Structure 1
């Protein structure tokens, strides 16, 4: 039969269990506002019964407190992390599309393209009334300057925005590396504790909170694998290997982690790109898959805003090679119009796993072929690449900053060419052949701007080194220096014999505004430029707003589901507190009763 003091032991086990439950409830209440904290509960079970060797068989031996576990549902965690990546992506897109929308916005206080363009043609009409007046000529050139400055400023704003996204990518990379280091530290601390048989609840909460933060930056995949005492054995050691991947590549593996590095590009991918945009690499030398479908999160949003080209990038099939050239054919239609090209004059060609540095290129409009001049590294050869595909940059299905820069460049090239072609048919006030009205600033040689002297309408072969409209961008378009210095060099007529007030050239220039035969932009007239751009922006902005709102609602719903499981509820904990207090009081009462029994048994029996 059991010991006479067996009841005291049972009562004591109840006290210990109730005390643990009260302490755990108090811990829950204390952390009700702690971010990431998961509600904990005491796991109890009936203690092993004892054989009594009596007719009634086994005797219960009280209660065992086996563990203090956190209440958490991994399914909701995974749902939250997956949705958080989408929310992070569209938060970024929403923010930056709002910035781009503001740049192109017109208001009563801020003159946009429409007002500036209309003022240019209003000044042209005034010049028609008095073409020989130098003051009116200067005023017209001033309004022409306002138009070029508008495009200069728009490009500056977009480049600054691209630099901002680039800097934010660097910040996100630093954040990823910091989280990875903290995760490995927590992995070690958790295993040290749990190998003793305990559960590191608070540390696990901290680790899950870090994954919450990481999941907003990039798509995450988390695995936790138990470690056995021996290879192939069945006995658990208590330790686990915790692994985290982002963008489909390993970030954390137990106690080790990889870091991501930002490496500034040595060459531009798009002609109007900001300098020093970052490519990402792993510390182990592998490329970080920045453009892969598994990226997600804020990094994906930043990458698409910074590099988005609406799938318009250079790619084609290599038709032929020489020792130092590569010729591409079978190109997309948008590459056959040099006004639309965004190719930098020099850069990197990717052919499979090979990279070739090129120093220039030429385009043959009769064959639709591009030929790149190569600067081969020692031992590098073009052998064996004919028939293969090559590209510059990546296909990115998003209208990001490079897309809007290319739209600006296309318009100014088409507009400047249309106006200049008319101006070149005229004579200035001195009877000399007129020069171009719009030129391109030359950052390498200010005194020798691009005046397109190497360009002839209809020419079949154009080289990137030639002075053609390829050199003109929204960043460098300006009004002729010579005309600014001497307004008499502005031609308003094709025949100076008609007098200095003749304006037949101005009549032709006015047609550029509305006549699609003079100039067309995306199938529209030149004055419809802003409508085309704002339609693109509205499409992107509305998409970002809609998806951001949807994913935010989903996030709120999942967060509510998570909290319904793991969150601390004050009312529920208050009930638990009373419940465990009563359990403690009952166990105390039992011990009191047993004390009285022992007192009777020991001190008074037989007295």
Structure 2
């Protein structure tokens, strides 16, 4: 009877644990991260008898959780991607909306500015029209500055987000290390039984960490989980958590970089961190945000340089050569805070059409300098003291120390510094400083047209330049123009073949000769005295709106800005589409995981009924054992 009673008792105890486990599953059906637990039964060791081995009952071998590490890893990976693309989409869309907003966008400012310039060209001597032009120029500069202010504000926000996210990552890493210790101790204390709730809590912490930054997990033999970030940097090893830290960029105090605490403060691992909110913030800052500021600065620098160049070739209402219309822009050069040498670096813009919007870092290794393009990683080496790259002239002076480095940002601050230089409406150079005329006694129809200034070094002219047609100017029977008042003559010109017009460059001036002159006919070029009604330079300035002066001569002002808007719009749409796709994939991964790990109330109800019936049957076994035992007792009393 004792055997039957023991068998029934073991069944009752085992089924009681099964019922409790089922109840635990039902109770936690809505608990985030809870994995369904199951009871694994095993028979007790049988008892050997002469008739064979008799069973002695049942025991609970283990209470385990339903868990698939591959499905769990898929959810973790999708969580990281989904959080990352969601963050990237939100940030990129803000720049997209900003650039497309007509109240702050550059396109309306360019249209308004060149519209006012056309009005001045139509009435070059009008002071009111000139004042409107200066107002539109200030409005355009204000739009550049306002956009850059918004972008710099967004940069500060991203830096704050990076700092906050790093703190969250460190807290989660510390929690995971603590849970590792609890898991290992609990497993050891129970002889290897899994502490299911602790395992769930650790998985939840790792999943939350994956939403912050992409992670890789490695299981140790003792049950602890190591967590790696980036390209293998250990964040959690066993019971120990390392810390990420933020530190100021050595070239820009407003920018924060990310490293591992305990390593050299200048060790930036940000470029290796991908996925999650942190990876997205770093990617956005180094990609869309920086490129937008640079492209906007490139446009500002291009407008300032090309407009100033043409404006300087004109003449204002006071008869003076035009100076800079916009403030000239100079590249920003920052020395690393870790430099120990005495070298200095300066930079200037050369050919603005060659500018690319890239940043450059030059470093000295003790023997030579290396120039590296930040956006592409391409590099070139040299002994110095000068580099020329992409329209930027870089000069090095002083004595460097090994390890010294400098960051050159040719156009990064271009939009912020873009401003109007002139303040007096009369200083706008609408006129050309020179004009041409044909001799009053000419017998032919010789003409000099399309007169323009290429180089102002020889202006104002010391006297008139006179071209006199001579049938033998370049030798007997070789016609052309003799030149007086300027070096460079005579000029070959054959009326028989050139009457349709030929282009000529002379003493920093360009013009076109045409017609059929007669010997002795003259053409002259003189200072444009009292040229208040002249609009030739205003027309030349207006033509810059559509002339392809930027990006290697492939883009006009409008083209450049439209290209920037399009690039950001494409990036925004791609990020949004990726965020939607990853969200869908994440939900699918969660559904697949929950089909294995999640609590199904129908299944639990069935288990509850099954275990209840088994429990009742086990109780009946005990009742039968008791009845048999009582029968034996009654028999012995007789």
Q: When the two structures are superposed, what TM-score results if normalisation uses the length of structure 1?
A: 0.73
User: Paired residue for 2:628?
Assistant: 597
Answering whether residue 302 of structure 2 is matched by residue 414 of structure 1, we say: yes
Give matches, 1:260-271, under 5 Å.
Answer: 260-268=244-252
1:605 Cα offset (Å): 4.3
1:560 Cα offset (Å): 0.5
Q: For 1:240-278, what per-residue CA distance to the aligned partner results, in whole angstroms no more than 9, with x for missing partners?
A: 34311111111111111111111111214xxxxxx4312
1:74 Cα offset (Å): 0.8
The CA distance in 1 between the partners of 2:254 and 2:392, in whole Å, is 31
Answering whether residue 414 of structure 2 is matched by residue 473 of structure 1, we say: yes
The CA distance in 1 between the partners of 2:330 and 2:178, in whole Å, is 54
Contact 2:430 2:535 in 1 (8 A): yes
1:37 Cα offset (Å): 0.5
Give matches, 1:508-519, under 5 Å.
Answer: 508-516=540-548
Aligned residue for 2:236, secondary structure, equals: strand
User: Paired residue for 1:530?
Assistant: 561
Aligned residue for 2:133, secondary structure, equals: helix
The CA distance in 2 between the partners of 1:244 and 1:520, in whole Å, is 45
Answering whether residue 264 of structure 2 is matched by residue 281 of structure 1, we say: no
User: Paired residue for 2:216?
Assistant: 221
The CA distance in 1 between the partners of 2:77 and 2:553, in whole Å, is 39
The CA distance in 2 between the partners of 1:461 and 1:566, in whole Å, is 60
Q: For 1:551-587, what per-residue CA distance to the aligned partner results, in whole angstroms no more than 9, with x for missing partners?
A: 2222111111110011011111111111111111111
Answering whether residue 23 of structure 2 is matched by residue 26 of structure 1, we say: yes
Inter-CA distance 511–465: structure 2 relative to 1 (3 Å threshold): farther
Contact 1:464 1:470 in 2 (8 A): no
Contact 2:46 2:56 in 1 (8 A): yes
Q: What root-mean-square deviation, in Å, do the aligned CA atoms of Structure 1 and Structure 2 show?
A: 2.7
Aligned residue for 2:168, secondary structure, equals: helix
The CA distance in 2 between the partners of 1:568 and 1:415, in whole Å, is 65
Inter-CA distance 52–519: structure 2 relative to 1 (3 Å threshold): closer
1:131 Cα offset (Å): 2.4
User: Paired residue for 2:326?
Assistant: 438
Instruction: Give the alignment partner of residue 494 of structure 1, picking from 416, 428, 432.
Output: 432
The CA distance in 2 between the partners of 1:49 and 1:522, in whole Å, is 92
The CA distance in 1 between the partners of 2:558 and 2:107, in whole Å, is 7
User: Paired residue for 1:135?
Assistant: 128
1:530 Cα offset (Å): 2.8
The CA distance in 2 between the partners of 1:255 and 1:106, in whole Å, is 52
Contact 2:8 2:619 in 1 (8 A): yes
Give matches, 1:323-472, under 5 Å.
Answer: 400-440=288-328, 462=393
Contact 1:289 1:295 in 2 (8 A): no
The CA distance in 2 between the partners of 1:552 and 1:463, in whole Å, is 47
Instruction: Give the number of equivalent residue pairs.
Output: 476
User: Paired residue for 1:163?
Assistant: 156
1:47 Cα offset (Å): 1.3
1:288 Cα offset (Å): 5.3
The CA distance in 2 between the partners of 1:457 and 1:14, in whole Å, is 90
The CA distance in 2 between the partners of 1:497 and 1:95, in whole Å, is 59
The CA distance in 2 between the partners of 1:70 and 1:426, in whole Å, is 83
The CA distance in 1 between the partners of 2:410 and 2:8, in whole Å, is 94
Contact 2:331 2:349 in 1 (8 A): no
Inter-CA distance 463–50: structure 2 relative to 1 (3 Å threshold): closer
Q: Which runs of 5+ in 2 are unaligned?
A: 333-347, 353-387, 398-408, 434-527
The CA distance in 2 between the partners of 1:246 and 1:209, in whole Å, is 17
Answering whether residue 237 of structure 2 is matched by residue 290 of structure 1, we say: no
User: Paired residue for 1:147?
Assistant: 140
Inter-CA distance 463–554: structure 2 relative to 1 (3 Å threshold): closer
Answering whether residue 550 of structure 2 is matched by residue 557 of structure 1, we say: no
The CA distance in 1 between the partners of 2:394 and 2:104, in whole Å, is 37
The CA distance in 1 between the partners of 2:588 and 2:27, in whole Å, is 25
User: Paired residue for 1:390?
Assistant: none
Relative to structure 2, which stretch is displaced further, 94-103 or 77-86? 77-86
Aligned residue for 1:479, secondary structure, equals: coil
Inter-CA distance 441–196: structure 2 relative to 1 (3 Å threshold): same
Q: For 1:206-250, what per-residue CA distance to the aligned partner results, in whole angstroms no more than 9, with x for missing partners?
A: 0000111111222222222224xxxxxxxxxxxx34311111111
Inter-CA distance 244–262: structure 2 relative to 1 (3 Å threshold): same
1:35 Cα offset (Å): 0.5
The CA distance in 2 between the partners of 1:261 and 1:469, in whole Å, is 30
Answering whether residue 200 of structure 2 is matched by residue 205 of structure 1, we say: yes
Q: Which runs of 5+ in 1 are unaligned?
A: 228-239, 269-274, 309-399, 445-453
Instruction: Give the alignment partner of residue 6 of structure 2, picking from 4, 9, 16.
Output: 9
Answering whether residue 286 of structure 2 is matched by residue 304 of structure 1, we say: no
User: Paired residue for 2:82?
Assistant: 87
Answering whether residue 225 of structure 2 is matched by residue 242 of structure 1, we say: yes
The CA distance in 2 between the partners of 1:471 and 1:548, in whole Å, is 29
User: Paired residue for 2:179?
Assistant: 186
Instruction: Give the alignment partner of residue 255 of structure 1, picking from 239, 257, 261.
Output: 239
Aligned residue for 1:513, secondary structure, equals: coil
Contact 1:260 1:288 in 2 (8 A): no
The CA distance in 2 between the partners of 1:93 and 1:477, in whole Å, is 29
The CA distance in 1 between the partners of 2:159 and 2:152, in whole Å, is 10
Aligned residue for 2:529, secondary structure, equals: helix
Aligned residue for 1:139, secondary structure, equals: helix
Relative to structure 2, which stretch is displaced further, 84-93 or 15-24? 84-93
Contact 1:8 1:591 in 2 (8 A): yes
Relative to structure 2, which stretch is displaced further, 158-167 or 571-580? 158-167
User: Paired residue for 1:315?
Assistant: none
Contact 2:35 2:599 in 1 (8 A): yes
Inter-CA distance 241–68: structure 2 relative to 1 (3 Å threshold): same
1:289 Cα offset (Å): 2.6
Contact 2:301 2:329 in 1 (8 A): no
The CA distance in 1 between the partners of 2:412 and 2:177, in whole Å, is 51
